[in-house]
Amino acid sequence: MTNPAYQDDEHYVAPFSEDTQFGELKDSAPAAKYRPSVTGWFGILVVGFWILIAVLGPFVAPYGENDLPFPDAYSEFQVPQPGAWLGTDVEDRDVLSRLLFGAGRTLGISITATVMAYFLGVVLGIGAVVAGPRVDLILSRINDAFLSLPTIMLGLVVVAAVGSSIPVLILTAGFIYTTIVFRLARSIGMEIVVMDYVEAARARGEGLWWIVTREVWPNAALPLVSDFGLRLIVVILFISSLSFLGLGVQPPQADWGSMVRENLGALQYGASVVPVVAPALAIASLTVGINLIVDDVSAGAGGKLAKRM
Amino acid sequence: MQALIAKRLFIGLVTMLAVSIIIFLGTKILPGDAAQIRLGQSASAENLANLREKLGLDRPYYQQYLTWLGNFLSGDLGNSLSGDAPISGLIADRYKNTLIVSALTALIGVPISLALGIAAAMYPDSYLDRSVSMLSVVLVAAPEFFTATLLVMFFVLFLGLGSTIVSGSTEGMGLFALIGHFALPIATLCFVIASQMIRMSRAALLNVMASPYIEMAILKGLPRRRIILRHALLNAIGPIVNVVALNLAYLVTGVIVVEVYFSYQGLATLIVQGVQTRDYVMVQSLGMIFCAVYVVIMLIADIAAIMSNPRLRHPR
């Protein structure tokens, strides 16, 4: 199998000299390059758009998240019109503004929780591998118990116990998905730790810290980072589902999942469907966008990751 | 094989015990116990102490846990904190809807998705294969309420069929009447589980298709259809059953969202209501039921995988 990247002119390096780095050698593997396909670009465009909105949303929103565009009139579920470009919701508020405010909340909570899950999962997972069989056994058994529960049930139990707030949501989702990252990080670590180069480092007498940061982590990083996107999708769906059930972000704060729930009545009364469709479409486009990117990247990298979801 | 299955059953039992401990402790971390919730913030210390003694809340955790587990196993699920009604009665009123929707989803969704998955594997890179995998990339990542909204917009608002709320009694309905009654919830759940099942059953088949004995069959000149149906499918049954069980287990999550979306009464709406009113006795009991179903489905998946593997069935 020939790798087209080898044939590129840009990979041609002048003959070996004193200060040539290993990565510059002609025979070294080329730095991994991701060239998005059409669907990949589409995903990047959509996700980039939502990240931009998440950051800028509150500044460009025409109204505050609880302001009424038509304060003088009875204006529940108005159709889109000048002054309220996506219409109004069940409590007469501007749907567009709430969507813009909700973007930061939905994305912010999900990304923070995913990062937390990754940090804990990777530290514990690789820690379990290098700390030896006894620690590994204890951590893995505890992890298996949590993994055998439906995630939404864990979420419901926690919310029932301590109530719902944004920090609780982040911690809950973070801990729940730590279990999955732990398993992944552990299995990748297991493969790596038996490699000859780790053994060589041990034989050299390197310490635990050195082995983890210099030998195990660089080799585990790529598969873990690629899995991050899939995990992010699952966390966004988890948070949105909790909010949709009325157990996530609490009113009057706007969040995409809770917006769908608040405005479900619009479908029943035959009023404007935009207040329901807009937030549902926002979540779907975001998660599908991420999925398209992950699919595209993993297709380029051999296509194994998409199956793990 | 018996030993393997016995071992798996034992692990399942241990898992259920661990799950019960997690759920019990999870609902114990809340500030204020059952007595506090029932009597309110202004209750006198004496009344609180009396009720705690009556409910056994003054005893150590492990004793409380064992009593709770014992009662649960003997069918006494306790009384709900709000309203003081026995939880088993509340469940008896509502379990039917949840069961009917899940069962019908499995009945309709599984054969269709497996047929599509097998067809996609039979003709890889055909239009069918490409459109099915494109659709599943989209559906697999979209939330249930998005799929439900699309279905409602198309069927109810555009075609004028059915209604956005599922209501009314299902007493005495036949199979087809039930399917009609719950058409939209079932369709939503079918879409959600189908995308995964199609993708994974196709992958499982293509995986088997890469093995040498299939190559042999191809070299013999057998048509692809026959190779798939007669040779590959039998060896893909294990992974496929696994895929089916995984997705049916996912119904535990999906059914909650769908029940709330179409606002009909079922176990899922009951647990959501329990969480909203912070009725932790109800959450404990229903949580245990949902988790038990989940664990049992997973168990069936593993046992099916063991039994469909000829090497395990006929050990040398």
Q: Residue A163 and residue B257: Cβ atoms within 8 Å?
A: no
Comparing CA positions, the residue from B204, B298, B200, B138 lying closest to residue A233 is B138
The span from the CA of A14 to the CA of B85, in Å, is 82
Comparing CA positions, the residue from A67, A163, A178 lying closest to residue A113 is A178
CATH number at residue A271: 1.10.3720.10
Does the CA dihedral B299-B301-B307-B311 come out positive or negative? negative
Of B152, B257, B290, the CB nearest to A153: B290
Amino acid A45: pLDDT? 94
Q: Residue A157 and residue B271: Cβ atoms within 8 Å?
A: no
User: Which residue range forms the structural domain that includes residue B169?
Assistant: 87-313
* Number of CB pairs, chain A paired with chain B, less than 8 A apart: 145
Estimate to the nearest angstrom the gap between the alpha carbon of A90 and the chain centroid: 30
CATH number at residue B238: 1.10.3720.10
Q: What single-letter DSSP state applies at residue A88?
A: B
pTM: 0.83
What is the number of structural domains in chain B?
Answer: 1
Amino acid A178: pLDDT? 92
How big is the CA angle at B284 (ends B6 and B96), to the nearest 5 degrees?
80
Distance to chain A for B117, nearest Cα, Å: 14
Residues 225-264 of B with CB under 8 A from A: 249, 252-253, 256-257, 260-261, 263
Residue-level length of chain A = 309
Query: With contacts defined as CB-CB under 8 Å, which chain B residues touch A176?
Result: none
Comparing CA positions, the residue from B303, B281, B300 lying closest to residue B78 is B281
Amino acid A23: pLDDT? 53
Residues 152-211 of B with CB under 8 A from A: 152-153, 156-157, 163-165, 200, 203
Amino acid A120: pLDDT? 93
Estimate to the nearest angstrom the gap between the alpha carbon of A283 and the chain centroid: 12
Q: Is residue A163 packed enough to be buried (19+ CB in 10 Å), middle (13-18) or exposed (0-12)?
A: middle
Query: With contacts defined as CB-CB under 8 Å, which chain A residues touch B258?
Result: none
For residue B149, CA distances in Å to A58, A114, A116, A290, B180 come to 27, 27, 32, 21, 18
Token readout for A225 is: 């980072």
The span from the CA of A8 to the CA of A35, in Å, is 14
The span from the CA of A257 to the CA of A267, in Å, is 16
Look at residue B117 and tell me if it is in a domain. Answer: yes
Question: Which runs of consecutive H residues, i.e. helices, occur in chain B?
Answer: 2-26, 34-39, 45-55, 61-73, 87-122, 127-141, 144-151, 175-181, 183-209, 212-219, 224-226, 233-261, 267-276, 280-308, 310-313
The span from the CA of A153 to the CA of A26, in Å, is 54
List per-block mean pLDDT (blocks of 10 residues) for chain B, which spans 316 residues.
83 85 77 65 75 73 83 79 76 85 90 89 82 82 88 83 73 78 88 85 83 86 84 82 83 86 85 81 85 85 77 66
Q: Are A138 and A92 in contact (CB under 8 A)?
A: no
Look at residue A177 and tell me if it is in a domain. Answer: yes
In this structure, how many other beta carbons lie within 10 angstroms of the beta carbon of residue A307?
Answer: 12
The span from the CA of B193 to the CA of A31, in Å, is 38
Amino acid A7: pLDDT? 46
Does residue B315 have a cis bond before it (omega within 30 degrees)? Answer: no
User: Which residue range forms the structural domain that includes residue A300?
Assistant: 88-308
What is the number of structural domains in chain A?
Answer: 1
Q: Are B147 and B188 in contact (CB under 8 A)?
A: yes
What are the backbone angles phi and psi of residue A84, rounded to the nearest 5°?
-150, 85
How big is the CA angle at A241 (ends A187 and A121), to the nearest 5 degrees?
20
Q: Are B197 and B254 in contact (CB under 8 A)?
A: no
Of A156, A233, A281, the CB nearest to B141: A233
Q: Are B101 and B184 in contact (CB under 8 A)?
A: no
Look at residue A107 and tell me if it is in a domain. Answer: yes
Query: With contacts defined as CB-CB under 8 Å, which chain A residues touch B280?
Result: 160-161
Query: Which residues does chain A have with pLDDT short of 50?
Result: 1-12, 14, 16, 28-30, 302-309
Look at residue B61 and tell me if it is in a domain. Answer: no
Comparing CA positions, the residue from A305, A285, A287 lying closest to residue A295 is A305
Comparing CA positions, the residue from B60, B58, B59, B78 lying closest to residue B68 is B78
For residue A290, give the amino acid letter: I
Complex ipTM above 0.90? no
Query: With contacts defined as CB-CB under 8 Å, which chain A residues touch B140?
Result: 291, 309
For residue B2, CA distances in Å to A4, A93, A154, B161, B315 come to 52, 63, 33, 52, 11
Q: Residue A160 and residue B275: Cβ atoms within 8 Å?
A: yes
Q: Residue B29 and residue A233: Cβ atoms within 8 Å?
A: no
Amino acid A235: pLDDT? 93
Q: Which residues contact A58 (CB under 8 A, 6 or more apart)?
A: A100, A101, A104
Look at residue B211 and tell me if it is in a domain. Answer: yes
How big is the CA angle at A108 (ends A276 and A265), to the nearest 5 degrees?
15
